[in-house]
Amino acid sequence: MPIAFFRSLLALASTLLAVSPAAAETLTVDEFRRELVGLPLCGTPTAGPLAGKALCTVHLPDGTAILSGSGLVVRGVWDVEGGKICRRNAHDAPDRRRCVEYERVGPERYRNSDGVEFCIGPCPEPASATAPADK
């Protein structure tokens, strides 16, 4: 009995540590450039005009960015200011850009300071999306 209790306690502790906000590591601009530029960053915002839409953004080395998914393709530009990554649509005025920080929350899992979690795409579908339907 004590071994089973210890295993349960260890599993619970591992789960809590894996999802703990304290485990997140803020990326520096150099880490962002090295780890994420040129790769599809895919996630689904939970708030704002794109809420609920599965989207991927690629920040290209030349300072351009492409957001696509859910029937959208939007071209933009990105740069850095004060340790944050700033992005705006290509035709928007520079003062319309949005700046966020990025943090690593797990292996190939990230979150920006707007709270959007994403992975390096293509991302695996959640188990609930691939589970067979009940009859």
Neighbours of 24 (CB within 10 A): 16
Q: Is residue 132 part of a domain?
A: no
Report the predicted TM-score, pTM, of the whole model to 2 decimal places: 0.74
Q: Is residue 45 part of a domain?
A: yes
- Which token pair is 27? 């990326």
Q: Which helix (H) or strand (E) holds 33?
A: helix 29-35
What pLDDT digit, counting tens, does each position of 58-81 carry?
999 999 999 999 999 999 999 999
Q: Look up the CATH number of the domain holding residue 90.
A: 2.40.128
- Whether 15 shows a pLDDT value over 70: the answer reads no
Confidence (pLDDT) at 5: 32
Neighbours of 117 (CB within 10 A): 15
> How are beta strands 84-89 and 72-81 bridged, if at all?
antiparallel
Structural domain count of the chain: 1
Q: Is residue 56 part of a domain?
A: yes
Quote the domain boundaries for residue 93: 23-125
pLDDT band of 126, cuts 50, 70, 90 = low
